[in-house]
Amino acid sequence: MTDNSSEPERPRHEPEIIPPDRARRGEAWRQSAWRPYGWSAGGTHRVYVARVGPFGLAMLTLAFAILAGVIFLAIIGAVLIWIPAVALLVVVAAIFRALRR
């Protein structure tokens, strides 16, 4: 072990830095993950982010409410399917119990 434990351990080997491949830029068969659908514009791009206004917030809230309503109706529908099945089982059990006596 080392004598001084407060000294950080040095890396065992240097990382390999691979430069971008400039020779294959024009080939259509090789598509980069950073350039989807063959987009070949180079350089930097700006991303504009705007604040959400009152109308946008209302529309976002409405979309979440509609999504929650659809999920709620799906769950209620799944529960309501079981009501006739359980009722049928209760009727069949009552008939078998009546016939057994």
> What are the pLDDT digits (tens) for 46-96?
788 888 899 999 999 999 999 999 999 999 998 898 888 899 999 999 999
Report the pLDDT value the prediction gives residue 39, as an integer from 0 to 100. 56
Q: Quick one: tokens of 93?
A: 């059990």
pTM higher than 0.85: no
Q: Is 31 helix (H, G, I), strand (E, B) or coil?
A: coil
Q: Is residue 9 part of a domain?
A: no
Q: In terms of DSSP H, where are the helices of 1-101?
A: 54-100
- Which residue range forms the structural domain that includes residue 77? 53-100
Look at residue 100 and tell me whether its pLDDT is greater than 90. Answer: no
Q: Is residue 87 part of a domain?
A: yes
Tell me, what's the pLDDT at 12? 78
How many separate domains does the chain show?
A: 1
pLDDT attached to residue 16: 79
Q: Is residue 69 in some structural domain? A: yes
Residue 80 lies in a domain: yes
Report the C-alpha gap between 88 and 79 in whole angstroms: 15
